[in-house]
Amino acid sequence: MMKFLLKVYTGLQPARVEETQVTQQQQQQQQQQQQQPQGLHQHPQQQQQQQQQQQQQQEKLTEAPAAAIAAAAAATAAAAPTATAAAIAAAATEAAATAAAATEAAATEAAATATATAAAAATAAAAKEETEEIQLCMQQYIKKLGGRYKEKETETEKETERQRQAKRDKEKETNKHNEGDKQKETEDNGRQKKKTKKKKKKE
């Protein structure tokens, strides 16, 4: 607004100078008319020329401020698109900077997410490998332990069988001994009976 007023004021300066010049010319003409002797009249053609000159000068005085205002308005209108273009360029630059910053932030966040995902995947893979290794060790231990158990079970069965066989052998030996004792006892009883019969016969 200040620039517009300054341009208007600057445009009015030549008009004021021209107005001052015209006023001075009118004053000189009036002085010349007053200095002419009475009874002497100007020629009608000269009067008409003077009137036309005065009218032209009045029109110039009227048109000068309007022309200055119009010139200032045109200059302001011409400067407005430039200012608007500069504002649009500044807004576009700011928007581009904001978009670039947002893009960079999004890229940084995506990279961090990818890194975290890769770390989680590596951790999961390591955990899976460790779990599989533990399971393999457990299977091997169970298999080995089962083999030992089977071996022990076999040895136990063999020992039990040996004990049973020894018991059977002992029973056989005992039975055999008992049968010998019975036979001896029977023989002794027979001999004793015979002795008793012989003794009774003698009596």
Give 38's pLDDT tier (boundaries 50, 70, 90). very low
Nearest Cα residue to 75 out of 134, 9, 157? 9
Percent over 90 (pLDDT), the chain:
0
Per-residue pLDDT for 67 more than 50?
Answer: yes
Domain spans of the chain, in order of start: 133-179
Phi first, then psi, for residue 38 (nearest 5°) are -70, 150
The string of pLDDT tens digits covering residues 105-161 is: 888 888 888 888 888 888 888 888 888 888 888 888 888 777 776 777 778 888 888
Give 41's pLDDT tier (boundaries 50, 70, 90). very low
Alpha carbon distance 199, 3 (integer Å): 178
| pLDDT at site 16 | 47
pTM over 0.85: no
Alpha carbon distance 85, 92 (integer Å): 10
